[in-house]
Amino acid sequence: MNSSFIPTPVLGILDTLKTSGYQAHIVGGCVRDLFLGREPKDWDITTDAKPEKVLTLFPDSFYENDFGTVGVKVEPFHKDRRPDREHDVIEVTTYRTESSYSDRRRPDHVEFVTSLTEDLSRRDFTMNAVALEVRNQDSSSEEKSRPVDIVDPFHGQDDIRDRLIRTVGNPEQRFGEDALRMIRAIRLYAELREPGVENGKGWEIDESTVAAAKKHAGLLSHVSRERVRDEFSKIILSGSPSEGVELLRTTGLLSDIVPELEEGVGVGQNLHHTFTVYEHNLRALEHCPSRKLEVRLAALLHDIGKPKTKRGDGYRSTFYNHDHVGARMTRAILVRLRYPVAVIENVTMLVDNHLFYYNVGEVTEASVRRLIRRVGLENMKDLMDVRIADRLGSGVPKAKPYKLRHLEYMIDKVSKDPVSVKMLAVNGSDLIKELALAPGPKIGAILDVLLSEVIEDPIQNTREILLGRAKDLSNENLETLRERAKEVIEEKRDEDDKDIKNRHKVA
């Protein structure tokens, strides 16, 4: 191996550390990725220089946490990141051991050490515990091809060659120290096990490592939800998400993360489905066409409400209301895992609306406008992706491209029509000025009624018509107005939903 694979900014940091009299190696996931011929996501450097020293050697750097990691800002060099970013960050971590984890969340204290081998021995998996040293510049050689020495005391290269994920040292002890490592093993498995990559499917987790995870799965409950969430999200976004979730289940870790998914194991469905609820959820995730976290979570959770709402058995069973029950469960799951509010709202909305009814020629423009009003125009693509995932996950050969294309066309067609109060030809101050109305909640309620009527018939969206209509409405009291807006929008929406239920017995 030579240094030609290593980006110049990384070489620069290594050289600065070494000319200042310190050791410096490249370590972690990027070394593993280099051996696999994959593009590293980020680059980590380990050194015997103390964090304070690293901070002074690199003026454009900052302390990242209490564990001795300093982020050094460098010229952008990653190809696949936002092109307009100001810098990339390379993490420089001081050799350390992590003493005991008495609360099982984080080490009691971090001890800096002087030996590279000791630092490598605290790392999670053998494939992540290989270090590279770039030899000093030899004046006779080209900058691009400096020799690289490999430091590999735990035989990580053998495991990389054999596609084996194995802990450094005794797995039971290592999982006992930090239970997050169990889910990290599965995350790396799901990420490395990439379909379409040479030997991608060959990855396995070493038997005794899996056995230790099964034995210690209960310890995951001690780990902070944020750390669990971040690894779980990476599994969901990986190339083999359903294999990852299935492995979480068989090791027993899923019971701590999303036990609700396990309620679907062995739960048969009706004539529309050949798979159990659990199998279908996994298949929907596997086939999800989107790479957005929200959409993938919605694909995985879209039928989470089915086990609780199942009535009857065999091919006649029904799952009325599973969309709304599932949305409530989804919210609770994501809140528990401390996802950001925006993610929670989005995924919940997608699960709540995943049964939207659409059939070419049957669905009116007004009902597409109502759907857009409920979901938001900006989320329609995501909702369609959930539908595609759902269909493909049912074992239906095609995602009915014609129907979805037609819906896209309809969305496009009505997308200029008013679907929100902002798009009405009048606004609140018009009503106050033109109709001499007092500012207050009644204005909002009148606008809601106007919108509900315009959604049914966009021709009415002119200033003249709406002002006339608003004048009549202003004689009604607030309650009546609110009722009326709700009636028009929600009752019609209910009719749309009833359609689905009658036709499909809620598939």
CB of 44 to Mg ion, least distance (A): 6
Q: Which does 48 bind (CB under 5 to 8 A by kind): Mg ion, ligand ATP, none?
A: none
Q: Which does 180 bind (CB under 5 to 8 A by kind): Mg ion, ligand ATP, none?
A: ligand ATP
Lateral strand order in the sheet of 44-47 = 61-63, 69-74, 88-94, 44-47, 24-27, 131-134, 148-151
Phi, psi of 332 (to 5 degrees): -65, -40
Residue of minimal Cβ distance to ligand ATP: 29
CB of 290 to ligand ATP, least distance (A): 21
Q: Would you say 153 or 289 has its CB closer to ligand ATP?
A: 153
Q: Would you say 40 or 326 has its CB closer to ligand ATP?
A: 40
Task: Enumerate the β-bridge partners of residue 167.
Answer: 125
Q: Which does 171 bind (CB under 5 to 8 A by kind): Mg ion, ligand ATP, none?
A: none
Q: If binding is defined by CB under 5 A, does position 71 make contact with Mg ion?
A: no
CB of 2 to ligand ATP, least distance (A): 22
- Three-state DSSP class for 94? strand
Angle at 288 between CA 282 and CA 293, to 5 degrees: 95
- Two tokens, residue 201: 């499917």
CB 287 within 8 A of CB 302: no
* Among 3, 17, 29, 506, interactor with Mg ion by CB under 5 A: 29
Q: Which does 133 bind (CB under 5 to 8 A by kind): ligand ATP, Mg ion, none?
A: none
**Helix intervals (H) in 217-276:** 225-237, 241-251, 254-257, 259-262
CB 110 within 8 A of CB 132: no
CB 54 within 8 A of CB 47: yes
CB of 354 to ligand ATP, least distance (A): 30
Which of 165, 274, 188, 183 lies closest to 223, judged by CA?
183
CB of 129 to Mg ion, least distance (A): 13
Q: Would you say 180 or 210 has its CB closer to ligand ATP?
A: 180
Which of 223, 190, 185, 187 lies closest to 206, judged by CA?
185
Q: x/- contact string, 82-121, with Mg ion (CB under 5 A)?
A: ----------------------------------------
CB of 122 to ligand ATP, least distance (A): 6
Q: Would you say 29 or 264 has its CB closer to ligand ATP?
A: 29
Q: Would you say 132 or 481 has its CB closer to ligand ATP?
A: 132
Task: Enumerate the β-bridge partners of residue 280.
Answer: none
Cα–Cα distance list, 298 to 264, 273, 323, 326, 461 (Å)? 16, 19, 11, 10, 35
Interface residues for Mg ion in 411-440 (CB under 5 A)? none
The amino acid that residue 374 corresponds to is R
Positions in the binding site for ligand ATP (CB under 6 A): 28-29, 41-42, 44, 123-124, 128-129, 178, 180-181, 184
Q: Would you say 15 or 42 has its CB closer to Mg ion?
A: 42
- Rounded Cα gap, residues 411 and 405, in angstroms: 10
Task: Enumerate the β-bridge partners of residue 164.
Answer: 204
Site stretch for Mg ion (CB under 5 A), options 39-47, 237-245, 285-293, 399-407: 39-47
Cα–Cα distance list, 154 to 1, 130, 179 (Å)? 19, 8, 21
Q: Would you say 181 or 229 has its CB closer to ligand ATP?
A: 181
CB of 180 to ligand ATP, least distance (A): 5
Q: Which does 68 bind (CB under 5 to 8 A by kind): ligand ATP, Mg ion, none?
A: none
Q: Which does 51 bind (CB under 5 to 8 A by kind): ligand ATP, Mg ion, none?
A: none
Q: Would you say 291 or 311 has its CB closer to ligand ATP?
A: 291
List, as own/partner pairs, every contact residues 478-481 make where C-beta atoms lie below 8 angstroms and the sequence separation is at least 24, other chains included. 478/441, 478/442, 478/445, 481/442, 481/445, 481/446, 481/448, 481/449
Cα–Cα distance list, 263 to 41, 279, 309, 457 (Å)? 36, 11, 11, 44
CB 506 within 8 A of CB 320: yes
Which of 128, 206, 120 lies closest to 171, judged by CA?
206
Which of 172, 244, 243 lies closest to 214, judged by CA?
172
Q: Would you say 44 or 430 has its CB closer to ligand ATP?
A: 44
CB of 33 to Mg ion, least distance (A): 9
CB of 44 to ligand ATP, least distance (A): 5
CB of 156 to ligand ATP, least distance (A): 10
Q: Would you say 120 or 350 has its CB closer to ligand ATP?
A: 120
Q: Which does 123 bind (CB under 5 to 8 A by kind): Mg ion, ligand ATP, none?
A: ligand ATP
CB of 402 to ligand ATP, least distance (A): 40
Contact residues toward Mg ion (CB under 5 A) are 29, 42
